[in-house]
Every structure is written in structure tokens, then in C-alpha cells.
């Protein structure tokens, strides 16, 4: 089972929504967590936007990347363009991607659009990570 880390600047919105989608859509297929270059609080707008589509992230907490070891993860996804600020060992995992999504914290009205973009990308990520393990025939 692949282990996925979603990372963002403050682990308050985009990475939290990605974690929520991955835990829901990838249940039993991947292990997932999220973190930030620094920890903060999960934004109420992120919680509300996810709740609108039936995913509850109220129990998720913001965590600093420094609480984790890169070698414990196969996949690292940056959601904010912060990949350039990640320590080298994090960007050299089996899979690394920098999705560079708009920051809804700066424009709360875009939370639903960003949420939907994250869902689409997380869905594609889960499919790409699990298709190699699907038995043929």
C-alpha cells in the first residue's frame, strides 16, 4: 500500500482537503496524511466546503512537516508550489508532484472550485497508484 503525504505552506486548507478526499476515496488502497512547512489551524472554510459534499474533516489537525520522515512516504504531493522549499529528501520520493493550486485562504469564494480541482487530482492519483496492483484477468 502506497503511503502519501500532501504538503502545503500552513496545512490549513488545500492539503487538508486533499487528505480528506484521499482518506475517503482511497480507503483501503493508500495510506495518507498531510502536513505544512509550518503548522497552523484547519480553516473553517475548508471544513465547511468539504462538509457540503459529505466529507467531514473536522477531526483533522494541522501538522508540521518536521514531525515526519521522508523515508516513511512513497508519494509526496505539494499543493501550493512549495516544492521548491521542501528539503531534498522529500522531493526525491518515488513520486513527487507540485500541483500549484490557487490559495482559497486569500479568496474564500474560490474554495468550492479549488475543492473540486483537488478531488479530480486526488482521484487520478489514487487510480495511478493502485492500477499497477490490480490483478489482470
pLDDT at residue 61, rounded to an integer? 97
* Catalytic site includes residue 82: no
Q: Given 13, 42, 80, 105, which residue is catalytic?
A: 80
pLDDT at residue 5, rounded to an integer? 98
> Would you say 42 and 12 are in contact if contact means Cβ atoms under 8 Å apart?
yes
Q: Given 5, 8, 65, 86, which residue is catalytic?
A: 8
pLDDT in tens, 43-81: 999 999 999 999 999 999 999 999 999 999 999 999 998
> Would you say 49 and 118 are in contact if contact means Cβ atoms under 8 Å apart?
no
* Catalytic site includes residue 8: yes
> Would you say 5 and 76 are in contact if contact means Cβ atoms under 8 Å apart?
yes
pLDDT at residue 131, rounded to an integer? 79
pLDDT at residue 132, rounded to an integer? 61
Q: What is the largest CA-CA distance in the chain?
A: 49
pLDDT at residue 13, rounded to an integer? 97
Residues in the chain, pLDDT under 70:
132-137
What are the chain's domains? 2-133 (3.40.50.2300)
> Would you say 83 and 91 are in contact if contact means Cβ atoms under 8 Å apart?
yes
Amino acid at each position: 500500500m502506497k503511503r502519501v503525504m500532501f504538503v502545503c505552506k500552513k496545512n490549513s486548507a488545500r492539503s487538508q482537503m486533499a487528505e480528506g478526499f484521499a482518506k475517503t476515496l482511497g480507503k483501503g488502497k493508500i495510506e495518507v496524511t498531510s502536513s505544512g512547512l509550518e503548522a497552523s489551524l484547519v480553516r473553517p472554510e475548508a471544513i465547511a466546503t468539504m462538509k457540503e459534499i459529505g466529507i467531514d474533516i473536522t477531526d483533522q489537525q494541522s501538522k508540521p512537516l518536521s514531525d515526519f520522515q521522508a523515508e516513511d512516504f512513497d508519494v509526496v504531493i505539494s499543493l501550493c508550489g512549495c516544492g521548491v522549499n521542501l528539503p531534498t529528501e522529500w522531493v526525491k520520493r518515488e513520486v513527487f508532484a507540485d500541483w500549484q493550486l490557487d490559495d482559497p485562504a486569500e479568496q474564500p469564494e474560490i474554495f468550492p472550485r479549488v475543492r473540486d480541482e483537488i478531488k479530480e487530482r486526488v482521484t487520478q492519483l489514487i487510480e495511478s497508484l493502485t492500477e499497477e496492483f490490480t490483478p489482470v484477468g
